Structures are given as C-alpha cells and as structure tokens.
Chain A
Amino acid sequence: MIEVASLLAVLPELVLTVAGLALLITGAFAGDGSARVVNWLSVLALAIAGLTLSTSLANGPDAFDGLYRADAFSAFAKALIYGAAAAAILIAPRYFNVGGRARPEYPVLILFSSVGMGMMVSAGDLLTLYVGLEMQSLAAYVLASFMRQDERSSEAGLKYFVLGSLASGILLYGTALLYGFTGSTSFDGIALAMADGVGKGELFGMVFLLAGLAFKMSAVPFHMWTPDVYEGAPTPVTAFFGSAPKVAAMALTVRIAIEALGPAGLDWQQIVIFVALASIIFGGVAAIGQSNIKRLMAYSSINNVGFALIGLAVGTPAGVAATMSYLAIYVVMTIGAFACMLQMRDEQGRPIETIASLAGLSQSRKGLAAAFAIFMFSMAGIPPLFGFWAKFLVFDAAVAAGMTSLAAVGIAASVIGAFYYLKIIKTIYFDEPAAAYEAQGGAVENVILTACAVVIVFGYLLNPALDYASAAAAASLF
C-alpha cells in the first residue's frame, strides 16, 4: 500500500523526476536550440523542489515503511544540493557555447543526479541508499564525459566509471555482509542487531561500506580518481562534482555512521579519524605541486573532506551539526571559486586552466581578482572570512568532546593547506601580468560570484540561522 503521506514526503524527488523526464522529452524534440529554456526550467524545478522540502518535512520522517526518511537532516542536505545543482546549471551555458553548443541534456542529467542525491541523503535502508547512489553516479559518469569530442573529458568519464563501479562493488559487498550478519538492510534493524556487541562479520561489512563511501567522498586513501576526473571534466561539471555530490556522500556517511552503525561508534571512530587526518594532510601536501587550477581544486576538495569528517569523528550532535555547517560554507566557497575559474579565459574567450596564467590578474580584472582572493583566503581558513568559521565549528566540536589532540593535529595541518591557497593569491596579486584576459565576465557568473563573495565576507551575521538549522539537522539523527 502506498500512502499519501509517503508520497508527500518524497515530493521533492517527485517534482525533480517529473521535471527531468518532461525536460528530456522537450530537449529531444526541440533540439539543441531549447538548451536555454531547459536550463532555466531546470533551475525552476530545483527551486520548486526546494520549496516542497517543507511539505516533505511535515509528512516525515519515515516514509515507505522506513525505506525513506524526510527529516531535518535530509532537508538541510537537500537544500544545499539543490542550490549547488542550480548554480552548476547556471554557470554552464557560457562554457559550453565556446566549445560547441550548449545541449539540453546537461541540466536534465543534473536533475536526475539530484534525484539520486536526494534519495541518498534520505535513505533509511541500505537498498534505498544503493539505488540513490547509483542514480547519482550514472548521471555523473555521463556528465564527466559530456564534451564528447574532447579526449580529456572522455577519459575522465571512463576513469570515473571504472573506478566508481569498483567502489560500488565494494559498497555492495559491505551491504551484503552487513545484511548477512545482522539480518536486516534497514538502518534501524542494523543498529538493533549491533546493539548487543559488534561481531567480526559486522565489522568487515562496516569497513567495506565505509570504504565505498570514502570513494564517493574522495577521502584518502580512496581519492585517486579525483584529480584526473576534476581536471578532465568540463569546468561547470567539475564545479558540480566539487559541491553537490560531496554534500550527498558526506551526509549519507554521517547518517549511516550515526543511525545504522551507532553502536559500533568506537570502531568506526578510529577509521574516520584516520581518514580525516590523512585527507587533510595528503590533500594539503599533494596540492602544493599542482600547476593546473582544477587539479588543485581536486586536492583542495580532498583536504576539505578531511575537515568535514572531523565533525563526524567526534560523533556528538555538535559534531554532526559542525559537519553540516562545514558543508554549507564549503559549497558556497566552491561554487564561488569555480565561478571565478570559469572566467579564466584568454582574449578569444577560450578557457585557460593553468595557475601561472592567473599572473597579474589583479591589474586587469580587479573585481575578479578580489573575489578570487576572498575565496582562497576563506578556504585557507583565515578570519574574518567565513571559511574560518567552518573550521572553527568542527574543531570546537572536537575540543568540546575532549578530543583536543585530534583538533590540535588537524588545525596544525591546516597550515599546510594555507600554503597553496596563498600561492594562488601570490600569483594573482604579486606577479607581473602574463597573459591577456577577456575583459568582461558573463552576467550570470558575476552575479553568482558576487553573491558567494558577499556570503563569505558577511557570513558571520548568518551564524544564528546556520547554528539553528544545523543543530536541528543533527538533532534529527540522534
């Protein structure tokens, strides 16, 4: 029996699915010329889906007999995901127009991916989780190779697909083990079975599950695909990969760790601490030598995942709230930084990607340079920019939970990361101008960039709201 309440709880997904299918047909019949309209309609669909989140909250939390959860946690994550997805759609047309023509499939694929991500963060059962994850991933594989004629893009798509399938396999194996040893695929059932002690088999299942999820989050040691895919994929797609799927994978991991694997907290805590610190340190060190800005952002994202995971490693409601706040701030910084990168074009309007080509940007494009500097300082965690607050929250949660040494090591390692962000600012501000730049940015890009920069600079005024929302999100898991 399908109840109306359950359908209302999945309303955001329904909206996106219907919109995605309708727009796919529109695109197929109307041809590439409809790309512009489809773009805006997709953004509209995401906005409507965002508005229906409150309806789904009112009819949650459990839908379809616990397979699906519409709680404050999923609403928080989905709001971020939809926002990031909309931004990824909006910044794309100008990029694709240079290499060929914008195609309506791009926004449609992002919509389908968003449906998958929505299911991931709302999953209450390992099967829902897997379906959502695959749905997100399949759309993402296509997106990575969206520039069919471009060799790098195709390569990125193929790499992503092969490695992603491997990770899915690992995850499925973990799922099977957990099911075998606990007799349930629902998160509650697993938690119940683990409550009387964690057996060896359950431990194995848990480790495989976490390994698969670490791949999706691109956390060390399962990060290897990230730099290649980020570099090869078209830049708007990279912006998308760097934001929405990260939030989804991270939120999913948090939910599984707290809801399903809660009784095994002490066991996964060690794993998460290791993964977090390894990601922070490796992401920081490996980024130093990069010369391509998209590759650098890949390592930066690895680094950031490490910080977000510290909140999870703490395992308290405050820690989870810190992780969610971290993701919110991280998404704004990432979208803003990529909106800057999309404006890196030579005089003919062709995109350029080397860090060296940024030299002297501050003299030709003052506003763009300032925005770039704001995002980089923010990512480095320097106050008074908002990126500092993200790091502050996770470390504060760690200290409050008595994990002072974890916080001390993590924050000391953050100085490594500061170095390569500084390198970009140095190139922009200190070096003599190298390449000539396109004089004007696109209007949409500029609006997004300005909005993100304003949030990053004046973010502290949002603190009360952010605290409230993230605390509510975290409370719904415990």
Chain B
Amino acid sequence: MDGFPILSLMMAVPMAGAIACLFAGANAARWIALGATLIDLALGAMLWGGFDQAANAPQWQFQEYAPIFGRFAWALGIDGIALMLIVLTVFLMPICIGASWVAIEKRVGEYMAAFLFMEVLMIGVFAAQDLYLFYVMFEAGLIPMYLIIGIWGGADRIYASYKFFLYTLLGSVLMLIAMMWMVNEAGTTSIPTLMAYDFAPQAQTWLFLAFFASFAVKMPMWPVHTWLPDAHVQAPTAGSVILAGVLLKMGGYGFIRFSLPMFPDASAELAWLVWGLSMVAVVYTSLVALVQSDMKKLIAYSSVAHMAIVTVGLFAFNQAGLEGAMMVMLGHGLVSGALFLCVGVIYDRLHTREIDRYGGLAINMPKYAVLFLLFTMAAVGLPGTSNFVGEFLALMGIYQASSWVALVCTTGIILGAAYMLYLYRRVVYGEQRNADAAAMPDLSAREIALLAPIAAAVLWMGVYPESFLAPMRADIQALEARLAPAAPAGDGKLVMGAGQKSADHSTHAASGEAH
C-alpha cells in the first residue's frame, strides 16, 4: 500500500459525504452519513492493519507531502499515537450518526454535513505534519461544533455555543503567535523536525505557556473548564459524544505532540503548574460532580476529572505515565461517549436529564441497566475495563515523579466511584417513583447496536491492552528519551529514578529516534 494516500482518502470520503448531505433529503442524508462514516471506519481498520509495528519501523508512516499552500504544505503522516486517536475517531463517528438517527428531526442534511465535516477536521488534526495545517484543522473545528450546539442544542444552546466558541478561540490565537515565532526561529513548518528542534530555554517558557493556553482550554483543565459543562449539557447527544470522545483528546494530543517534545525544559520547569491544576481539578470537579442533578452535567464534570488524570500522566515524564495518559484518553473517549449515549437513550424517551425524574429503571429496562452498569464500572476504573489500565499506569507514572501528586489524584478514583455509583443507584435502582419513567421501553435494536461495539471495545481494552499499547510503544519511548534530560527527579524512589528508567528503555529508544 506504499504511496497510496489513505489519509487523504479518509478525509475526502466524509468531505464528499458532507457536500452530498447538504443537497440530500432527510432520509438520504442519514444513509449517506452512515455510509461515509462506515467507509472511514473500514479505512481506519486498514490503516491500523497496515501500520508497521516492527521494532525497526519508521516512526512516521503513511506520509504524504504536497506543498500547495505557499507558506505551508499538505503534509500528512501518523505515528502510533495519532493512529490510535484516528481509530478512536472513526470508531465513534458511525455511532454518533446512529445516535442521531431519530433524535434529530429538523435540518437533518445540514446536521449530518456538520458531523462529517467535523470528522474530516478531527482526522486532519491527528494526521497533520505541518504546523500551520494542524492549526487550520484544529481551529476550523469550531465552526461545525458551534453550529451543532447552536442549532440542534437544548434550551440554553445559544449561550453555550458562544461560550464554547469564544473560550476556545481566545485560547488558540495565542498558540498561533507562538507557532509563528517557532517557524521563524526554526525555519520549517514540519512537525517532526520541530519535535527534535531545541529552542532556547528562555523562549521555551513563553512558547509553552502560549500552547498551554490553547490546550488547557481544549482539554479542559481547571479553572478554564467552565465552557465544557455548558457545551455538553446543551449539545445534542451525538454532539456530546464527539465532544467528550474526540475533541477533548485534541488537548491531550497537543500536549504529547507539541508541548512535551518541543519544549521539554519548560515542561519540566512548569510541571508543578500542571500538577497543581490537575490536583485541584481531580478533587474539585469530582466533588462538583457529586452534587449535580443533571446527568449530562455530572458526566461532563467527570470528564474534567479524568482529563486531569491524563495531564498528570503526561507530565510524569516517564513511560508508564505517558502510556497511561494515552490509555485514559482512549478509554475515556469510549466510556464517556457511551455514558452520553446512555443518557441520550433515556432522554429521547422522557426529554429530561433530571436525575430525580428517573428511578428503578432496572425493572423495566433490564438490558439498559446491564450496559449502563458496564460503562459505569468502566468509568470508575474497575479492573478488566479500559479505564483501569490507563488510570493505573498514569498514577503509577506520577508516583515515580511525585508521590504527593499521586496521593491526591488517587482520591479522584475514590470520588469517581462515589459519584458514578450514586448516579447509577438513583437512576437504575430503587423504586419506580415516576409512572412515565416506569413505562419506558427497553433498548431498541438500534440502540443496542450503538452500545454493544463500545462495550466490546471497553472490555477488549481492559483485558488485552497490548493491542492498543503496542503501536504507541516506540513513539512513547522516543518521547521519553527526548524528555529524559529535562525530567525532574522523582521523590518516589530511594535511588535516583531517572538513571534506572533510562537504563530500562533507552536501548529501544535509541534506535528509533536520532538526535
């Protein structure tokens, strides 16, 4: 498959679908969208299958390069990290389309077009190998998301759409200035080159902060997370799925692709900032989630807490932490997406997200109760589910860097169990207090078809995470080697941790990365 532009094709298919949807009737648009996303899913599977995971494989694969934009180029290419996130994207997209099948009744063509355009941009973000191309894709996502929230959202959608748009825009424009500075300094827009470029430590601090402004908002980290609950609550179900499942991962991807390898010194120097914000986020947003009466808001706050685990994992500067962060991102993408779908299922029936309006659903909706339980347990981080692997690795990683941070962040797991189980008890167990909730029918075949693949993936990731870790391992080792000189010494070991760690992994890393 050498030279075949599969990444461009993966972007072209949904783009063509989006244009077709604009001119199609409601039902035709649904089928076009489903078809396009399924083709992309197949292409994604081919991508995964064709990705060379051998020890001596090149770091960047499926590269394409066409300098057609003057100052920047249509440069695509993926490593294992990007591959996994692209696979996550194409996996969730058909599910999103299916979730909107009956819930969206007005302006279906435009809705499907917005979603397909979103898919194009998300694949573009993860596959871009040109700094400016990345920015264009990263920023363009605002347009479809703004429209999705604003047109098809809930009652307070307009406020939420403004907040989402302006928050994230303000965050990213400063990053653009930093990018311009970097390109002027290094003389190239190629991301792989920039990842190996050593910027002066003084400059790194400023660049790091500018990128941080963007990624922290996108992630989102406390205290700039407030757009997320609003956007989530107001967005339609599929919008929430894609927001939590993939858009938030752009922040984490940004850290792992830009902040850490490009500014290793500043990352180490400012790790305390990230740790501090993450610790606050884990505890604070978990407590906030406990008192929510709106189901979507609760899951939105839990997303903030989970993303904080990702950031501490990333800024642990060791392989366990980085792998854990990636696994939390993938796991959370699946689990939070599934939880939003679960909320969507009952919202479609009763048109309320108030937890108190439900109760005792296990009696009339047993299938729903089973699947919801599985995803609740996955969100809690039960062993055997996807999130356990990621959270365990991330916390293990941060323990090597700072045992205090690990201590505080681990309480997040306990609090997470508290708010998720509390939610589950109120919605599914107990008495059937409300007659209309008690009369709701169980999952339809369509809904099972949406949730079952996610359930399978969650279990697969929990039982055999190696399938997901293997493609990323070499890239994470390379990143760790890049970070090693700057990584702060950990307090979790009696002997110097850095020396031992590099002895473990540098042998693999040295072969893949030359600098």
Chain A interface residues toward B at CB < 8 A: 362-363, 377, 382-384, 388, 392, 395-396, 399-400, 404, 407-408, 411-412, 414-415, 418-419, 422, 425-426, 429-430, 460-461, 463-464, 466-467
Indicate whether B51 reaches chain A with its CB closer than 8 angstroms.
no
The interface residues of chain A lying within 8 Å CB-to-CB of B110 are 362
B69 contacts partner chain A, Cβ-Cβ < 8 Å: yes
CB within 8 Å of A: which B160-193 residues: 161-162, 165-166, 169-170, 173-174, 176-177, 180-181, 184
B180:A396 contact, CB within 8 angstroms:
yes
CB distance from A472 to the nearest CB of B (A): 14
Query: CA separation between A276 and B180, bound complex, in Å?
Result: 20
Contacts of B137 in A (CB 8 A): 383-384
What 20 new A-B contacts, CB under 8 Å, besides A464-B69, A464-B70, A467-B71?
Answer: A382-B143, A383-B135, A383-B139, A383-B140, A384-B140, A388-B136, A399-B180, A399-B181, A400-B180, A407-B177, A408-B174, A411-B173, A411-B174, A415-B173, A419-B166, A426-B162, A429-B150, A429-B151, A430-B158, A464-B68
Question: In whole Å, how far is B367's beta carbon from the nearest beta carbon of chain A?
Answer: 37
Q: Are A466 and B70 in contact (CB under 8 A)?
A: yes
Q: How far is the CA of A232 from the CA of B410 in the complex (A)?
A: 65
A377 touches B143 (CB 8 A): yes
B142 within 8 A of A: yes
The distance from the CB of B151 to the nearest CB of chain A, in whole angstroms, is 6
Contacts of B419 in A (CB 8 A): none
Which residue of the partner chain A has the closest CB to B70? A463
The answer for the CA separation of A443 and B89 in the assembled complex, in Å, is 42
Please list the 4 inter-chain residue pairs (A to B) with the smallest Cβ-Cβ separation, ordered nearest first: A463-B70, A383-B136, A399-B180, A411-B173
List residues 110-154 of chain B with CB under 8 A from any CB of chain A: 110, 132, 135-137, 139-140, 142-143, 146-147, 150-151
Whether the pair B146, A422 counts as a contact (CB closer than 8 A) is yes
CB of B155, distance to nearest CB on chain A (Å): 12
Q: Fill in one digit per residue for B252-286: 1 if any A CB lies within 8 Å of its CB, else 0.
A: 00000000000000000000000000000000000
Q: Is the CB of B142 within 8 A of A463?
A: no
Cα A363 to Cα B109 with chains together (Å): 12
- Bound together, the chains give a CA A399 to CA B166 distance in angstroms of 23
Contact of A422 with B151 at beta-carbon distance under 8 Å, contacts A395-B176, A464-B70 already known? no
**Contacts known (A415-B169, A426-B161); A404 close to B181, Cβ less than 8 A:** yes
Q: How far is the CB of A428 from chain B (nearest CB, A)?
A: 10
A422 contact from B162, B177, B180, B181, Cβ within 8 A: B162
**B204 to nearest A CB, angstroms?**
14
A460 CB contacts on chain B under 8 angstroms = 68-70
Q: How far is the CA of A395 from the CA of B176 in the complex (A)?
A: 9
CA–CA, A429 and B110, complex, Å: 11
Interface centre among A377, A384, A419, A467 (most CB of B within 10 A): A384
* Smallest Cβ-Cβ distance to B176: which chain A residue: A411
B157 interface contact, C-beta 8 A: yes
Residues A392 and B176 in contact, CB atoms below 8 Å apart: yes
Task: Indicate which residue in A399, A412, A430 contacts B161 across the interface (CB closer than 8 Å).
Answer: A430
Please, which residues of chain B bring their CB within 8 A of the CB of A426?
A: 150, 158, 161-162
Please give, as numbers and ranges, the residues of chain A lying within 8 Å of B173 by CB-CB distance. Answer: 411-412, 414-415
The answer on a CB contact under 8 Å between A418 and B166 is yes
Which B residues are CB-close (under 8 A) to A400? 180, 184
Q: Are B174 and A412 in contact (CB under 8 A)?
A: yes
Chain A residues near B135 (CB, 8 Å)?
383
Q: Is the CB of B69 within 8 A of A461?
A: yes
Distance in angstroms from B116 CB to nearest chain A CB is 15
State which size class the interface on B falls in. Answer: 20 to 34
Residues of A within 8 A of B132 (CB): 392
Chain A neighbourhood of B180, CB < 8 A: 395-396, 399-400, 407
Residues from chain A with a CB closer than 8 A to the CB of B165 are 418, 422
Which residue of A is nearest B106, CB measured?
A363
Closest to B162 in A: A422
Question: Are B150 and A430 in contact, CB atoms less than 8 angstroms apart?
Answer: yes
Residues of chain B within 8 A (CB-CB) of A461 are: 68-69
Complex Cα distance A382/B174, Å? 14
Residues on the A chain within 8 Å of B166, using CB? 415, 418-419, 422
**How far is the CB of A277 from the nearest CB of chain B, in Å?**
15
Q: Are A388 and B139 in contact (CB under 8 A)?
A: yes
Complex Cα distance A419/B165, Å?
9
**B140 with A463: CB separation less than 8 A:** no
The reply to whether B140 and A382 contact each other, CB–CB distance below 8 Å, is yes
| Bound CA span A460–B162, Å | 27
- Give A173 Cβ to nearest chain B Cβ, in Å: 39
> Which of chain B's residues have a CB closer than 8 A to the CB of A419?
162, 166
Are A411 and B177 interface neighbours, CB within 8 A?
Answer: yes
A226 to chain B, nearest CB (A): 26
**Between-chain CB contacts (< 8 Å), 10 pairs:** A383-B136, A396-B71, A396-B184, A407-B177, A411-B177, A412-B173, A422-B146, A426-B162, A430-B151, A460-B68
Residue in A382, A399, A430 whose CB lies within 8 Å of B177: A399
Complex CA gap A33/B458 in Å reads 75
Give chain A residues whose Cβ lies under 8 Å from the Cβ of B181.
399, 404
A160 to B214, CA, bound (A): 44
Quote the shortest CB–CB distance from A67 to chain B (angstroms): 36
Q: How far does the Cβ of A355 sit from chain B's closest Cβ, in whole Å?
A: 15
Which residues of B have CB within 8 Å of A429?
A: 147, 150-151
Question: Are A399 and B136 also in contact (CB < 8 A) when A415-B173, A467-B71 are?
Answer: no
Q: Choose among A399, A422, A425, A463 the residue that contacts B184 (Cβ–Cβ < 8 A).
A: A399
CA distance A461 to B165 in the complex (A): 27
- Cβ-neighbour of A408 out of B68, B136, B177, B184 (below 8 A): B177
CB neighbours of B177 from chain A (8 A): 395, 399, 404, 407-408, 411
- For B139, what are the chain A residues with a Cβ–Cβ distance below 8 Å? 382-383, 388
* A418, B176: Cβ atoms closer than 8 Å: no
- Cα(A382)–Cα(B142), bound, Å: 8
Once the chains are docked, how many angstroms separate the CA of A396 from the CA of B184? 9
Q: What's the least CB distance linking B141 to chain A, in Å?
A: 10
**For residue B170, which residues in chain A have a CB less than 8 angstroms away from its CB?**
412, 415
Residues of A near B136 (CB, < 8 A) are: 383-384, 388
A418 interface neighbour in B68, B107, B169, Cβ under 8 Å: B169
In angstroms, how far is the closest chain B Cβ from the Cβ of A419?
Answer: 6
- Chain B positions within 8 Å of A430 at CB level: 150-151, 157-158, 161
Q: A418 vs B143: C-alpha distance in the bound complex, in angstroms?
A: 12
CB-based contact A463/B71 at 8 Å? yes
Across-interface contacts of B142 in A (CB, < 8 A): 382
Contacts of B162 in A (CB 8 A): 419, 422, 426
List of B residues within 8 angstroms of A408 by Cβ: 174, 177
Residues in A with CB closer than 8 Å to B107 are 362-363
CB neighbours (8 Å) of A464 from chain B are: 68-70
Which A-chain residue is minimally distant from B182 (CB atoms)?
Answer: A399
Bound complex: CA of A425 vs CA of B161, how far in Å?
11
Q: Chain B residues near A395: list those with CB within 8 A.
A: 176-177, 180
| Least CB separation from A431: chain B residue | B158
Q: How far is the CB of B354 from chain A (nearest CB, A)?
A: 25
Question: How many angstroms from the CA of A400 to the CA of B68 in the assembled complex?
Answer: 22
Report the separation of the CA atoms of residues A25 and B121 in the bound assembly, to the nearest whole angstrom.
57
- In the complex, A418→B170 CA distance in Å? 10
What's the minimum C-beta distance from A457 to chain B, rounded to whole angstroms? 11
User: What is the CB-to-nearest-CB distance from B68 to chain A, in angstroms, rounded to a whole number?
Assistant: 6
CA distance A411 to B174 in the complex (A): 7
Measured between alpha carbons, how far is A380 from B181 in the docked complex, in Å? 22
For the complex, give the distance between the alpha carbons of A391 and B174 in Å. 13
- For the complex formed, measure the closest distance between the CB of B384 and the CB atoms of chain A, giving whole angstroms: 43
Taking the closest CB of chain B, its distance from the CB of A382, in whole angstroms, is 6
User: Which residues on B sit within 8 Å (CB–CB) of A414?
Assistant: 173
Q: How far is the CB of B437 from chain A (nearest CB, A)?
A: 31
Complex formed: what's the CA distance from A400 to B182 in Å?
Answer: 10
Min distance, Cβ B375 to any Cβ of chain A, angstroms: 32
CB distance from B473 to the nearest CB of A (A): 34
